[in-house]
Amino acid sequence: MRHIDLVGQLQPALHRPQHAPYPDAIDHALFRAYMRTSHDVGGEPDIPIRWEEKQEEQWEVNTYVTCECLAWRGIWNAEERRRRQNVDLGQTQYLGLPYYGRWLLSAARILVDKQHVTLTELINKIEEVRKRHEKKSPR
């Protein structure tokens, strides 16, 4: 349980200024806290979750298919996709985005990071889709 308290101290919102400890000052609990990733929630306290069967929405299916196509085209492999969707996001995005939202964000980032599209091209395409969607369903 001590390592969970240490994780809380390492998170940016709860961060307290500290110097990097010398290796001999890092005990097992502190090492576990430093090595913890945002998706590693095993053993942490939580509330019960009500299981609900849900039909996937069309954007979720489209996201899944897009990510699979990126893999088929050699843009990324399954392990890289999982790392980007679970480890690289950080706790705020990992807990704040829906499951396929993390997939979508990771797909966009990989395309920009590997220079398949520029950030400007991606932003322009998102704006184009947003405008097209607004025309279809006015508020």
pTM as predicted: 0.64
Is 99 an active-site residue?
yes
Q: Is residue 121 over pLDDT 80?
A: yes
Distance CA 75, CA 117 (A): 12
- Residues 13-50 pLDDT 10s: 545 666 777 778 888 887 777 776 666 666 667 677 78
Catalytic option among 64, 94, 99, 100: 99
Query: What separation, in Å, do the N-terminal and C-terminal C-alpha atoms of the chain show?
Result: 49
Distance CA 84, CA 73 (A): 18
Is the CATH code 1.10.472.20 the one for domain 58-136? Answer: yes
Question: Hey, where are the domains in the chain?
Answer: 2-35, 58-136
